[in-house]
Amino acid sequence: MSTATRRVAIVTGGSRGIGRAVAERLAAEGQAVVIAYARNDAEADAAVKGILANGGAAVAVKADVADEKAVEALFEVAEREFGGVDVVVHAAGIMLVGPLADFGLEDLDRMHRTNIRGTFVVDREAVRRVRPGGAIINFSTSVTKLATPGYTAYAASKGAVDAMTLILARELRGRDVTVNAVAPGPTATDLFLDGKDEATVERLAKASPMERLGRPNDIADLVAFLAGPGRWVNGQVVYANGGAI
């Protein structure tokens, strides 16, 4: 595919977990991918090398998604390296859990800075740069519907993502750019499994009629649809949890 016709995707949080599965999937479909990551240079480098080894095009950029200058620079790399931006998948986020009564305000502020401000900053830059025919895909969570105790602060931050997504889709009337959010349920990533005993993992797996945890590729399948052929899906929060709710 020539650079003139190749679509270009930015994937935040693209060095590991679901974000990495998304980056690899979009690259396999022929999109050039810019992987944004927060800290781990080795993981980002490995993600890029894996895509290049399979014939794809990718670069990695370290960026704090809540820092508007860093996000501007991220989009400028995409435009300089690949000619523009068509798809923005904002998968970066943090999850801190605990009962509301015991939850520290510093943790609340930290999570809201990444999950709410980060989404706002990334989406704002996406609105300014994504080309017609493009897609903006945010990441929410099924916990907003599952109402799982201990997830008050996290669910609140993702509820804000839902609101931004639904309104932004309508603000982009006439632009031919779709805006949706993907809301995964329990998904077998290293971060999700860390600290959970076997009984807890089994219970969470059984919550779905499919009787298993989601896999990163399950979520990547949905993102690829919304980023490509799913043009008539717009202004939606799409729950990807195997039927748990």
CATH number at residue 180: 3.40.50.720
In a domain, 169, yes or no: yes
Question: Would residue 68 count as lying in a domain?
Answer: yes
Q: Which of 107, 125, 114, 124 is nearest to 92 (CA)?
A: 114
Could you tell me which residues come within 8 angstroms of residue 9 by beta carbon, excluding any fewer than 6 positions away? 23, 26, 31, 32, 33, 34, 85, 86, 87, 88, 89, 227
164 assigned to some structural domain: yes
Residue with tokens 């999700």, as numbered in its chain = 192
Residue 196 lies in a domain: no
Show the domain range for 86.
Answer: 8-94+112-141+160-184+220-240
- Residue at token pair 């590729």: 217
pLDDT, one tens digit per residue, over 224-242 is: 999 999 999 999 999 999 9
Would you say residue 165 lies in a domain? yes
CA 165 centroid distance within chain: 12
Beta-ladder partners of 10: 34, 88
Q: Is residue 155 part of a domain?
A: no
Q: Give 1's pLDDT tier (boundaries 50, 70, 90).
A: low
Domain contains 154: no
Q: What pTM was computed for the model? A: 0.95
The verdict on residue 206 lying in a domain is: no
Query: Does the annotation count 239 as an active-site position?
Result: no
Task: Take residue 23 and report the two structure tokens written for it.
Answer: 């980056």
Report helix, strand or coil for 213.
Answer: coil
Residue among 116, 115, 120, 126 at smallest CA distance from 89: 126
Residue type, 42: A
Q: Cite the beta strand spans of 79-172 per DSSP E.
A: 87-90, 135-139
What is the average pLDDT value for the chain, to the nearest integer? 95
What does each C-alpha distance from 22 to 74, 113, 143, 153 come to in angstroms?
18, 23, 21, 26
| pLDDT, tens digit (0-9, with 9 covering 90-100), for 141-199 | 999 999 999 999 999 999 999 999 999 999 999 999 999 999 999 999 887 787 788 89
Domain total for the chain?
1
- Which candidate in 37, 151, 154, 239 is catalytic? 154
User: In the structure, what pLDDT confidence band is assigned to residue 63 with cuts at 50, 70 and 90?
Assistant: very high
